[in-house]
Structure 1
């Protein structure tokens, strides 16, 4: 009888130890909705045109998921922006060259991983992005009829109808405390944003086909609720 009591005591102790070590720790996953806004610097990396980056503005919403027991967080974002770019062209009368300003509106949806470098205060941000954008639009209609540098018959208004759907990659860094973050992101276009120009039978002489990749640098501030 005494032996049976000892065995029962040992069994109870082992059960408590197993339960104590076997239970998973509970973590509180936090969700947040944020608003963001800032400035951009936009360019198209191409051998077809002489371009110069120009500034614009960006704003949007972000939904974040804070995962305390992981080395990363995730977020979904939708951003709207007006981006500007300068392209070199010459007047038809005097052939004097100058940079002509274009604008482009974009809507972007991204899914980002935020790798924790210093807890949630400093993160490395990477992920894919899908983009819909408008045509390149001349900001000054009086610049129509200018000839794009490097071509004989390609006019400034001929290159506006670019590809509308593009896939991008995003890399950046976020830093902040509490509900406030500062973020810098670099967006690179994997797809040929000038590809649609190749279907328009433009007079480009012996020049190669149009090929260009978007390059966008965004500086934003984010407030999360």
Structure 2
């Protein structure tokens, strides 16, 4: 129910932004709609765990505001992604066998992006803040739940699922193409500590650092159609 309310709020926000930027001024401002999709690559930059980047996919939509005679355009939208990441573990506390445990992370992201016009209608450099609501870390294969996480003596794979679910990111990227079809490459860095909530779980941290810190590192590679 909470997820449904969140998506309704996003839809209202997009409609509001589209309407508010459509006011006529000194320039003939043109509103548009963008649909995009592609692949994601997710990692978490941390000293606590040994991680491996995983592939996923995403889809999104945005309200675009084209401002002629200005050096920038603006867009506000939503990206929904299913991401994957792997964390190194072992089957028993004393095992010398190491395996990567696959986790899944769902994200709903709301970016507000300034598109700097390098060549108008063809190339822009994109940057802006991004609000993120994400799921907890879900283990893909439940048989790995009792594996022990490397760098710690007693923390298991199931112990680290309860990560922070509200985060703030920054986005930078490039968009290129013709007027109505674009290719995009974007990098997202997490300003907030996505592992912050783990510090409140009273985990037994012998063998490793008792402070948990991780910053999201995500790449979007995709294509977009503009209307």
Greater Rg by CA? 1
Any gaps of 5 or more consecutive residues in structure 1? 1-24
Alignment RMSD: 1.3
User: 2:183 maps to what in 1?
Assistant: 182
**Could you give the per-residue CA deviations for residues 2-25 of structure 1, whole angstroms, max 9, x where no partner exists?**
xxxxxxxxxxxxxxxxxxxxxxx9
Equivalences, count: 201
From 214, 220, 223, give the equivalent of 1:221: 223
**By how many angstroms is 1:120 displaced?**
2.2
Structure 2 residue 212 is matched with structure 1 residue 207: no
User: 2:108 maps to what in 1?
Assistant: 107
- Give SS of 1:68's match: coil
User: 2:86 maps to what in 1?
Assistant: 86
Determine the C-alpha separation between the residues in 1 that align with 2:27 and 2:211.
54
**Could you give the per-residue CA deviations for residues 129-184 of structure 1, whole angstroms, max 9, x where no partner exists?**
00000000000001111000011100000000000000000000000102111111
- Give SS of 2:193's match: coil
User: 1:173 maps to what in 2?
Assistant: 174
Determine the C-alpha separation between the residues in 1 that align with 2:203 and 2:27.
60
User: 1:64 maps to what in 2?
Assistant: 64
Deviates more, 1:169-178 or 1:206-215: 206-215
Determine the C-alpha separation between the residues in 1 that align with 2:154 and 2:210.
15
- Give SS of 1:197's match: helix
User: 1:32 maps to what in 2?
Assistant: 32
Any gaps of 5 or more consecutive residues in structure 2? 1-24
- Give SS of 2:159's match: helix
Structure 2 residue 150 is matched with structure 1 residue 149: yes
Determine the C-alpha separation between the residues in 1 that align with 2:175 and 2:212.
35
- Give SS of 2:49's match: coil
**By how many angstroms is 1:27 displaced?**
3.6
What stretches of structure 1 move > 6 A for 4+ residues in a row?
A: none
